[in-house]
Structures are given as C-alpha cells and as structure tokens.
Structure 1
Amino acid sequence: MAALASLCPAAHAQSTYSVGLAAGAAPRYAGSRDYRAVGAPVLRADFGNGAFIDMLQGAGYTYKFGNGMFATASLGYALGRTDKNRVDLPGSNHLKGMGDIRGSLMGAFQLGARVYGDATLSVTLDAPLTHRERGLSGHIDLVVPVIQSGAHIVTLGQSVHYGSGRYMQTLFGVTDAQAANSAFSAYAPKAGFDAATLSLAWNYTLSKEWSVRTLVATTRLLGDAAKSPIVQTKQSYFGMSSINYTF
C-alpha cells in the first residue's frame, strides 16, 4: 500500500490532518490464492510546506517544480513475510519451511510530472535501509482521473513493478536450504519486471470534514516471479475502504 499511497502527492497551502480507519482484504503473500483481512488506522499530516507524515507512505517531503514536475523522498517501513498464517503479517502455512522475511526500513525516491491535464506519471525507487537482503525495487505509475463530479473523484491507476536480482530471490526464490526444509524445489529468479497492477480509487466527500475512500486493484505476476514454485496463482486482487476525518 505504500506505493499506491505515493502515487498522489499532497499539495496543501496550509497544514491539514486526517484521521480514520481502513479495512479490506489482501492476498496472504504475493502469489497466494488465499486472502486475509487487513485493517489499519488512517493517520496523515500535511504541513503545507511539502513535508508530510503518513501511516502508509511514511514521513517525507515533496518538492514541486514550476514546470509541473515534483520530487518526493520518504522514509517508511515494508512488512516482511512469515511461513505461517498470521493476522498481523503477510504469510501462509503454504510456505512452511521457507523461513521468515524480515521487515525493512525503506527509503523511497520518486520523480514525477503531470503529463496531460491532471494525469500523473511517476517513477519510484525503493531501497531497503535495514535487512538489505530484500534488495532494490521500483515501479512506474500512471494515475488518471476519470470522474471529477461534485462529491465524487474516481482515478484509474496503472503500475508496473521491477525487482533486482536480490529482491526477486528474497520474494520469489527458493534457496537450496529452503528447498531442503520445504516442499519447494530450488529456484533462482533473475531481475526483471515482476508485476503489473491496475487499480481504481473512489473518493466520496460526505462533508467538509468527512470522506470515504475506496480502492480496488488487481495484480498480475510477470516473468520469473510468475514461474516461482511458491506462486499458487498469477492473478490476485486487493480491496480497501476507509472513512476519514480531515481538519
């Protein structure tokens, strides 16, 4: 969700704060055919000078250039993965013997621009600052508003994700040691594009302070990621709604 949150950089002339609650469903891990309930508080502060703090995106700063381009640097956290079913973390009993992937403190660096009307194209690099075995990854995103009418704003998002060799090995690979402890054969994926996502976000303004945001998305695994022995399905879905109070 951090990547999806970063697609729409905030632009506020004065400080604004949002609180709320979000709930939805997501795959147990990338490639899982099983789903788990997810929920989180919504907490965001935009300080009017480009600085922000967000539960999903982390803490960072967005600089807007005069030509419509923008650059964002942020510090956030990426959850790990377990080899058992858990309520609080991605993971599945299907991965028994694979061991855990540790969560990482992440630095995200994004450069983007408005390309046509309010459509935004951006490129983001995600770099682990702790537990660096996670590897580098990045994504290219295009966000296009399709409905802006009264209380309703609907945007269409398209994204492709790239993983380095280390990232692919951590998320989709199976080492010899893991193969010996699990039901999977050893597998060494190469760097490349690993996923494409199509999303639809709907923001419904109830009043000056209250709003409801809903996001639905589908992701297709690509290349060596899709061929991984741990992958049960190449196609997955995600959905989340939140109710928010902004002041």
Structure 2
Amino acid sequence: MSRYRETLTLVPLTVFLLTLLNTQTAGAQETGRDLTGSIGLGISSGPEFNGSDETSAGVIPIFDLTWRDRYFLNQRGLGVYALRNHGPNDLSVGIAIGYDFNERLVEDDARLAGLKDVEAGALLTAFAEYDAGIADLEFEVSHGLSSDGHEGTRATAAAEFGMPVGKRVYLSAKPFVTWADGSYTDAFYGVSAANAATSSFSRFEAGSGFERVGIELRASYDLTVRTGVFLGVEHARLLGDAQDSPISFDDSQTEISTGIIFRF
C-alpha cells in the first residue's frame, strides 16, 4: 500500500491544518477577509504503482481552499493565481508546489526485485483553466523536484463536461490525455543495463511520448447546502513505451474514490 502510505501519515496533520483554517475563517469574517472552499475525507482504491495489476486502498484528506481569491491549497498543493476567473470565459492561470504521492517501491511487488525505487517527492505544477461554455478546459504541466523520485515532466490536457440532475445531483465526465518526457517514463517504465543485470527484466529504454489516455467520471449528491457526498471512477489506458514496458503488468488502470465534503 505504498501508494497511500504518505497520505495516511498526512491525515493527522491535515486535521490539525483544517482546525487551524476554520479558526482563521471565524477571524476572517470579522475582518472582512475572504477564505472560501471545502474540506473532507475520502477513501480511494487504485493501482499499487504505474502499470501494476494489484490494487491498494487508503484514506485521503480532501481540501480545496482559496484565500482572498488569489492563494490556494488544493490537490495541486500550495499555490498562487496569476489570473483568477479573468475575462468573459473565466480564465485562471496559476502555479503551485505540492507533493507527488506516485511512487514505485520494490517492497510493493516481489517481481520488482533488483529494480531501483522511485520515491514520492515534491512537485511543481503550472496550470491554466478556461470555461469554453460546453466544457471546462484544463491544461497543466508538472515537474518532479526530488532526486529520489522521477524528476520528470508530465503535461495533461483535459475537458470536463458537467450537468446538474435535479436540485441535489451533479454529474461530470472528464476525458484526458497525458504526455511524459523521457525522465518520467524512464524512471517508471525503463529498465537500465544495471537493473537488467540485477532483476528478471531485460533492458528497456523508455522515451518521451503520450503516457496514458482516460476518462474520469464523477457523481455528487448534496445532503445539505454545505454538505455533500461523491463517487468518482477514473479509468486510463497506458500508451507507447509505458504500455510496452516489461514493468507494466496491466495496461488498464482504474481508480475508485468516495467520500464526504463540507463547504464553507
């Protein structure tokens, strides 16, 4: 369950952080400051690592907070908007530094014996969001900052289509495609000559290219004005060298998540 090990250790810290933020919110209302967003807790189950045919599950903290419509703390990390809901199509552009929980450890699967660990680490992300009317368009580029991680770059383009069903239900579908550079693909899918000599895999050089394509489906239900529950399913298929890699035991990658959210 290495995919969620760090997430589980973050839960106590997140609870403390949310308590602190709620305290600040009360003070913010008195001073006219603007802290808005949502917090919550969920459960997620997905592949043990990129290309794994085994799954692991864990508890995930959920937070999406915005301070004065400029600074934010969400799944991308702690960041700032250069533009926020700008123009008639609500263009938003920003940058964030966060933590990439995606990793591959030898202890996760006995078949990985002899390979080098790819550990989780800091991640720098730049993004743009644009309301195109029929869909919300998203584009983001992230780069790994940890020397024990992949130190690679990924770019993801997505389009989210959503619609309300009645007064309480909201459904959305977000197809996406991800491109990765050679540093990322070689870390997760490549087998160096040295690793080939110490493992059961033949040498495999993974280069840059489209890494995966998929779709994220999500349904949410409002229990009250400020409280809701959700169910999400993300299904992706590995492409190119990610698909051809001997370390990819399953080209089909599915993640399921559910939880509760509190808005304020």
TM-score by length of 2: 0.80
Structure 1: tracts of 5 or more residues without a match: 2-12, 86-91
CA distance in 1, matches of 2:37, 2:132: 28
SS in 1 for 2:175: strand
Match of 1:30 among 32, 50, 60: 50
Match of 2:216 among 193, 199, 203: 199
Match of 2:140 among 114, 124, 128: 124
Point out 4+ residue stretches in structure 1 off by more than 6 angstroms: none
1:39 aligned onto 2:59 = yes
Match of 1:58 among 77, 81, 99: 77
1:115 deviation in Å? 1.6
1:94 deviation in Å? 2.6
CA RMSD of aligned residues (A): 1.9
CA distance in 2, matches of 1:133, 1:225: 14
Task: For 1:76, give the aligned amino acid.
Answer: G
Structure 2: tracts of 5 or more residues without a match: 4-32
SS in 1 for 2:107: coil
Contact 2:206–2:245 at 8 Å: present in 1 too? yes
CA distance in 2, matches of 1:40, 1:105: 18
Give the alignment of 1:5-20 within 5 angstroms. Answer: 14-20=34-40
Q: Higher mean Cα deviation, 125-134 or 66-75?
A: 125-134
CA distance in 2, matches of 1:61, 1:163: 24
Match of 1:105 among 118, 122, 134: 122
Match of 1:83 among 106, 110, 124: 106
CA distance in 2, matches of 1:205, 1:47: 24
CA offsets, 1:96-148, max 9 Å, x none?
A: 2212112221111112311224x111211101233275211111111111444
Q: Percent identity?
A: 23
Task: For 1:77, give the aligned amino acid.
Answer: Y
1:179 corresponds in structure 2 to 196
CA offsets, 1:1-47, max 9 Å, x none?
A: 9xxxxxxxxxxx94224332110210011111111112222233222
Contact 1:51–1:61 at 8 Å: present in 2 too? yes
Contact 1:20–1:41 at 8 Å: present in 2 too? yes
Contact 1:146–1:156 at 8 Å: present in 2 too? no
SS in 2 for 1:31: coil
Task: For 2:41, give the aligned amino acid.
Answer: L
Task: For 2:107, give the aligned amino acid.
Answer: K
Distance 1:149 1:47, change over 3 A: farther
CA distance in 2, matches of 1:218, 1:228: 19
Contact 1:84–1:94 at 8 Å: present in 2 too? no
CA distance in 1, matches of 2:260, 2:110: 32
2:261 corresponds in structure 1 to 244
2:205 corresponds in structure 1 to 188
Distance 1:133 1:232, change over 3 A: closer
CA distance in 1, matches of 2:143, 2:186: 15
Contact 1:174–1:188 at 8 Å: present in 2 too? yes
Counting matched residue pairs gives 228
